[in-house]
Amino acid sequence: MADWPQETTIAAFKRAWTLEGEAFWTTVFSMHQGKMQIKSPKVAVANLQKIFEATFKLANAKGFQAMTLRDLSRETGISMGGLYAYIGSKNELASVIEGVLRTYIDQVIGELVNEGLDPIARLRASIFGEVFMIQILNPWYYFCYMELKGLDREQQEQALDLELRFDSLLVDAILAGMKQGQFSCEKPKLLAASITAQLQQWHLKQWKFKLQEVSMEEYAEHIFENLLLCLSYRR
């Protein structure tokens, strides 16, 4: 049985990356425990899950800008004082959400450069990895995408940087293939941006593809094959 990223299936991806369940929330705690008053993971992990899941629910229902910490306290059953032990403000909460997503983009996609993949395999793993990762972390992605206008300027820039970060990782793989004579492309940055936009269609409008009975893997394969055509790659 091949391992991710040599095998680009959802099963292989889930064996390599834990993006849900207690282990995931423990990792989220580890990322941001320096900013919290609660230092014990046994106490913090379950409450962190409540806080973030309630935030996504309330943001979808009324918008993050309209949501108050009192709303969050009622939804989670955690007192206001208890909430402040985990998050100092709404802005800090939004920053943590963006930070978690950015960290996983850097790890899941950014670290592919260290896997010894040729440019084609790296592009394939980048496309499939992004689709699988955001499918699992969809509430985090949806928040960063939909709540962008309601965030302050610094957080808007951080959220926009998420998209540009993935673009730059695609460009790096494209340029590596061009250097080896495998690809031909006049505007790598424009091509990468268009691929990112196509991936956003899947994440934000899955209903459209469900009507066509298109699976997650089929969509990723479609994007990858079209990318190779744009790069004038011939097998």
Res. 1: pLDDT tops 70:
no
| Structure confidence at residue 160 (pLDDT) | 81
Side-chain-side CA neighbours of 146 within 13 Å: the count stands at 19
The CATH number that applies at residue 135 is: 1.10.357.10
| pLDDT tens, residue by residue, 58-89 | 999 999 999 999 999 999 999 999 999 999 89
Tokens encoding 162: 């998420």
Which amino acid does the sequence have at 10? I
User: Is the residue at 2 inside a domain?
Assistant: no
Longest dimension (CA), the chain: 61
Three-state secondary structure along the chain?
Answer: CCCCCCCCCHHHHHHHCCCCHHHHHHHHHHHHHHHCCCCCHHHHHHHHHHHHHHHHHHHHHHCCCCCCHHHHHHHHCCCHHHHHCCCCCHHHHHHHHHHHHHHHHHHHHHHHHHCCCCHHHHHHHHHHHHHHHHHHCHHHHHHHHHCHHHCCHHHHHHHHHHHHHHHHHHHHHHHHHHHCCCCCCCCHHHHHHHHHHHHHHHHHCHHHHHHCCCCHHHHHHHHHHHHHHHCCCCC
User: Is the residue at 185 inside a domain?
Assistant: yes
User: Is the residue at 15 inside a domain?
Assistant: yes
Q: How far apart are CA 170 and CA 151, in angstroms?
A: 27
pLDDT higher at 41 or 11:
11
User: Is the residue at 64 inside a domain?
Assistant: yes
| Structure confidence at residue 39 (pLDDT) | 81
User: Is the residue at 1 inside a domain?
Assistant: no
User: Is the residue at 19 inside a domain?
Assistant: yes
The range of the structural domain enclosing residue 68 comes to 10-230
% residues pLDDT > 70 (the chain): 99
Tokens encoding 124: 């394939």
| pLDDT tens, residue by residue, 206-224 | 999 999 999 999 999 999 9
Task: Categorize the per-residue pLDDT at 42 as very low, low, confident or very high, splitting at 50, 70 and 90.
Answer: confident
| Structure confidence at residue 8 (pLDDT) | 98
Domains held by the chain: number: 1
Q: How far apart are CA 95 and CA 81, in angstroms?
A: 20
- Give the CA radius of gyration of the chain: 19
User: Is the residue at 154 inside a domain?
Assistant: yes
Tokens 């973030």 -> residue: 52
Please tell me whether the overall predicted TM-score, pTM, comes out greater than 0.85 for this model: yes
Tokens encoding 221: 């394969």
Q: How far apart are CA 196 and CA 164, in angstroms?
A: 9
User: Is the residue at 3 inside a domain?
Assistant: no
